[in-house]
Amino acid sequence: MDGTTKTELRRRLDEERTTLVGQLTEMGVDPDTGQPSEFAQEGFADSGQSTAEKARVLSIAEGLLETLHEVDAALTRMDDGTFGTCDTCGSPIGDERLEARPFARQCMDCARRAS
Ligand SMILES: [Zn+2]
């Protein structure tokens, strides 16, 4: 992978991170802990939202948090130089796959085997 591609992917990961943190904050979930912030808990209590609604929001938040962790891990891998290498077999993940999914940890073959 050349430097330009890497820079571009880092930019996209940074953007993705900002978006995810923004969405979580908006939902009243602390992006660091994954817990509803105190403010949001009050909001939940005041707004009379049903338990089902809270559960729905938290399950969406869980998905966002998972992606956020993947994005963070990808940024860490960029810093330690292992970005773009499959976690499982050590082969290059491939630019095309990384462009579609910048936080992919596995090459296409391993991802397919895992699913
Ligand atoms: Zn692999």
Q: Which of 12, 110, 114, 28 is nearest to 67 (CA)?
A: 12
Query: What is the predicted pLDDT for the residue at 1?
Result: 77
Q: Tell me the average pLDDT across 92-98.
A: 94
Q: Tell me: the pLDDT tens digits for 57-86?
A: 889 999 999 999 999 999 999 999 999 999
Q: Residues whose CB is under 5 A from ligand 1 (ion)?
A: 86, 88-89, 107, 110
Are 68 and 24 contacting, i.e. CB atoms less than 8 angstroms apart?
Answer: yes
pTM: 0.82
Cα R_g (the chain), whole angstroms: 17
CA distance 75 to 25: 21
CA 101 to ligand 1 center in whole angstroms: 15
Q: Tell me: the pLDDT tens digits for 7-53?
A: 999 999 999 999 999 999 998 899 988 888 765 666 555 566 678 88
Long-range Cβ pairs for the range 31-35 (8 Å, 24+)? 31/65, 31/68, 34/61, 34/62, 34/65
Which tokens sit at 42? 């009050």
